């Protein structure tokens, strides 16, 4: 067992069990509830992989489809009745870099773990169940494409990237949903739902000893099946696919997004670069940022920005709901072309980030999400975050600003 000094003096306990699975525990008396998650490093970013001597292409949307078939309480009414009896809530979701299965409750933690573990580690994927699921997932797909913002982002990613996983929705494509087979899902389950490729997170009010004892006992029945297969990443070109694209949709107010695709900044490690980039963009475009006042004066008050690292590229994007897309983009580019940040700006943004690190531990769902996101993204828990944030200097921030390249962009509009 390893104790990790996390944020604001909080500790995370990490166990590595005999079958290779890792367990992250955050016991606390701040709540009466508990939140349990089982995660696997298998999300929609896996498009091709090698297992043994064979190379497999992965049908688009398979990770999400597999999530549906693994977290299957409809075929086990007794288990669902127990969940309801305990007053617990179950959920599952797939992201680009992983799949997560959750249960939230406040009584009978061992029984809740048993119900969740049985779904995840004893999945039985049958052809007839896969066939009956297709319609459900297609309905979910259509629901997403009723959302103009989902359409906006999907078309932005398609315009920016030619081959990367990010150009496809996590849910997949209609063709993929219609064609994925039970045999492929069973192979993916066997190859990626391996203990060494998975981890468990338990946060909340529980007795550490009892919980780890129960998990260790349960895991005696889950064999170590070796290392996960090697994921083969596609090679993405630097150039964007489309510099401008319009999508016609019946919307009251147009939606616009502009995205900038640039090589990953390698001046510092990935996590530090993300923090610095977030501090810079927040100083410009958050609700208290330099650009926000001008956007508000121009009536562009429904806007936001985001960051993402896809393959070897950094993506910085901005979106707004406005019928004057040209004005929005001009304001964005005015501030991006002359990024300024003072020492007092930096210290203010650092204080805000430090406060969020502390406040995040008031909610066990946020703690779980932070742990899960870090392990899926970096394959480890990030220690010493407060010290890292405090140590960032204005000179380091200016070095990252110098590395930005906003010449490679795409603009997408969703309008009538």
What confidence score (pLDDT) does residue 134 get? 95
Phi, psi for residue 14 in degrees, rounded to 5: -120, 125
Lowest-pLDDT range, 98-102, 125-129, 188-192, 296-300? 296-300
Per-residue model confidence (pLDDT) at position 306: 94
Closest residue by Cα to residue 384 from 357, 406, 403, 409:
357
Give the pLDDT confidence of 337-352 residue by residue, as tens digits.
Answer: 999 999 999 999 999 9
- pLDDT value at position 318? 96
* Intrachain domains 2-231 and 244-415 with the same fold: yes
The predicted structure's pLDDT at residue 8: 73
Chain mean pLDDT for the chain:
94
- Range 244-415 has CATH code 3.90.1150.10: no
pLDDT digits (tens, 9 = 90+) for 245-254: 999 999 999 9
How many whole angstroms separate alpha carbon 68 and alpha carbon 72?
Answer: 7
pLDDT, tens only, 362-413: 899 999 999 999 999 999 998 888 899 999 999 999 999 999 999 999 999 9
Second CATH level (architecture) for the domain 2-231: 2-Layer Sandwich (3.30)
Euclidean distance between CA atoms 380 and 207, whole angstroms: 24
Are 177 and 134 in contact by the 8 Å Cβ rule? The answer is yes
pLDDT, one tens digit per residue, over 286-330 is 888 889 889 988 888 889 999 999 989 999 999 999 999 999 999
Tell me the sheet residues that pair with 27.
Answer: 204
pLDDT at 375: 97
Quick one: average pLDDT of 52-65?
97
Nearest to 289 by CA among 227, 336, 257: 336
Q: How confident is residue 258, by pLDDT bands cut at 50, 70 and 90?
A: very high
Dist. CA 89–CA 167, nearest whole Å:
32
Q: State the average pLDDT over residues 64-82.
A: 89
* Eight-class DSSP state of 362: G
CA-closest candidate to residue 88, choices 68, 102, 74: 102
Strands (E) across 219-297 are located at 230-231, 244-248, 255-263
Among 201, 212, 200, 204, residue whose Cα is nearest residue 34: 204
Distance from the Cα of residue 270 to its chain's centroid:
16
Going by pLDDT thresholds of 50, 70 and 90, the confidence category of residue 357 is confident
Q: Which among 274, 295, 310 has a CA at the least distance from the CA of 156?
A: 310
- Segment 89-116 mean pLDDT: 96
Write the CA distances from 41 to 45, 66, 73, 219, integer angstroms: 10, 13, 22, 18
Residue 356: its pLDDT value, please?
86
10 Å CB burial of residue 285 (0-12, 13-18, 19+) is buried
As a whole number of angstroms, the distance between CA 213 and CA 221 comes to: 14
Q: Beta 230-231 vs 48-51: how paired, if at all?
A: antiparallel
Question: Could you tell me which residues come within 8 angstroms of residue 81 by beta carbon, excluding any fewer than 6 positions away?
Answer: none
Task: Kindly indicate the confidence band of residue 138, based on its pLDDT and cuts at 50, 70 and 90.
Answer: very high
For residues 299 and 297, what is the distance between their CA atoms, to the nearest angstrom? 5
4: confidence class by pLDDT, cuts 50, 70, 90 = confident
360 has pLDDT over 80: no
Q: What is the pLDDT of residue 328?
A: 95
Q: What digits encode the pLDDT tens for the residues 160-175? A: 999 999 999 999 999 9
> For the whole model, what pTM was predicted?
0.94
In this structure, what token pair is assigned to residue 149?
A: 């913002």
Domain boundaries, the chain: 2-231, 244-415
Indicate the pairing of strand 11-16 with strand 2-5: antiparallel
Mean pLDDT of 37-59: 97
Helices and strands of the chain, counted as H and E runs: 15, 15
Q: Which residues contact 386 (CB under 8 A, 6 or more apart)?
A: 7, 8, 354, 357
- What was the pLDDT predicted at 268? 84
Q: What percent of the chain has pLDDT over 90?
A: 83
Q: Are 310 and 161 in contact (CB under 8 A)?
A: yes
């Amino acid at each position: 067992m390893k104790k990790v000094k996390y944020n604001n003096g909080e500790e995370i306990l990490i166990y590595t069990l005999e079958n290779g699975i890792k367990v992250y525990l955050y016991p606390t008396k701040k709540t009466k509830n508990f939140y349990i998650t089982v995660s696997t490093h298998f999300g929609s970013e896996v498009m091709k992989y090698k297992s043994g001597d064979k190379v497999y292409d992965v049908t688009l949307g398979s990770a999400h489809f597999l999530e549906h078939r693994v977290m299957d309480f409809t075929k086990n009414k007794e288990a669902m009745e127990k969940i309801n009896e305990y007053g617990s809530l179950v959920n599952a979701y797939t992201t680009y870099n992983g799949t997560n299965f959750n249960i939230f409750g406040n009584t009978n933690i061992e029984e809740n773990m048993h119900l969740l573990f049985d779904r995840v580690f004893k999945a039985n994927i049958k052809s007839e169940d896969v066939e009956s699921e297709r319609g459900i997932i297609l309905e979910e797909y259509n629901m997403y494409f009723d959302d103009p913002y989902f359409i906006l982002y999907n078309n932005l990613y398609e315009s920016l990237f030619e081959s990367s996983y990010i150009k496809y929705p996590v849910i997949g494509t209609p063709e993929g949903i219609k064609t994925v087979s039970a045999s492929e899902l069973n192979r993916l389950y066997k190859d990626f739902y391996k203990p060494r490729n998975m981890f468990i997170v338990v946060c909340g009010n529980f007795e550490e000893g009892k919980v780890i004892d129960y998990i260790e006992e349960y895991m005696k029945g889950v064999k170590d099946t070796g290392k996960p297969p090697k994921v083969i990443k596609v090679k993405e070109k630097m150039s964007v696919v489309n510099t401008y694209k319009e999508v016609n949709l019946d919307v009251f107010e147009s939606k616009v997004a502009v995205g900038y695709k640039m090589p990953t900044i390698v001046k510092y490690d990935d996590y530090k670069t993300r923090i610095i980039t977030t501090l810079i963009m927040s100083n410009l475009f958050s609700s208290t940022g330099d650009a926000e006042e001008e956007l508000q004066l121009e009536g562009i008050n429904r806007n936001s920005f985001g960051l993402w690292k896809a393959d070897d590229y950094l993506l910085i994007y901005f979106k707004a709901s406005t019928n004057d897309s040209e004005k929005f983009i001009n304001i964005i580019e005015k501030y991006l072309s002359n990024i300024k940040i003072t020492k007092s700006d930096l210290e203010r943004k650092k204080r805000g980030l430090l406060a969020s690190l502390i406040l995040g531990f008031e909610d066990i769902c946020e703690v779980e999400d932070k742990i899960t996101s870090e392990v899926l993204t970096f394959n480890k828990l990030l220690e010493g975050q407060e010290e890292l944030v405090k140590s960032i200097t204005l000179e380091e921030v200016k070095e990252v600003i110098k590395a930005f390249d906003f010449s490679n962009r795409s603009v997408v509009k969703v309008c009538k």
